[in-house]
Amino acid sequence: QVTLVESGGGFVQPGTSLRLSCVASEVSSNSYVMAWFRQTPGKEREFVAAVGWPGGSEAYGDSVKGRFTISRDRVNRAVHLQMNNLKPEDTAVYSCAYRSPRIIFGRWRDDSVYAYWGQGSQVTVSS
């Protein structure tokens, strides 16, 4: 049973930065995808970013491209989401997701392909 533990959420002002982390435990496979999604009340879950290995390919949602960066820590089985130039519309609960084995790149944005989810971390961007 894979467990995902997120950290790093909080309350920040527009234009600032925040870094989210997700550590995966009980992971034995070397072929998987880890992703970040976000959701606000009354809206569908939105794809934010994903990274897969082997290979290390990355994918980003259109609304965060150029501002957010996903990175991986192979030793600690973790992924990080560096969020820069945050905007009020980035306010959401951010959740980490995991699936194994790795699947085709084009499906990484589909939340139904992920079998495991973290508990979610609130990010609030407001002045």
Does pLDDT of 8 surpass 90?
Answer: yes
Does pLDDT of 95 surpass 80?
Answer: yes
pLDDT at residue 53, rounded to an integer: 86
CA angle 95/97/101 to nearest 5° reads 175
Buried-state track 63-87, b at ≥16 Cβ within 10 A, e below 16: ebeeebebebeeeebbbbbebeebe
Does pLDDT of 62 surpass 90?
Answer: yes
Q: What's the pLDDT tens digit per position in 79-90?
A: 999 999 999 999
Q: Name the token pair of 127.
A: 């002045």
Does pLDDT of 122 surpass 80?
Answer: yes
Q: What's the pLDDT tens digit per position in 30-45?
A: 889 999 999 999 999 9
How sure is the predictor about 76, in pLDDT bands with cuts at 50, 70 and 90? Answer: confident
pLDDT at residue 90, rounded to an integer: 98
**Mean pLDDT, the chain, integer:** 94
Report which of residues 75 and 24 the model is more confident about. Answer: 24
Does pLDDT of 108 surpass 90?
Answer: yes
Q: Name the token pair of 70.
A: 């996903």
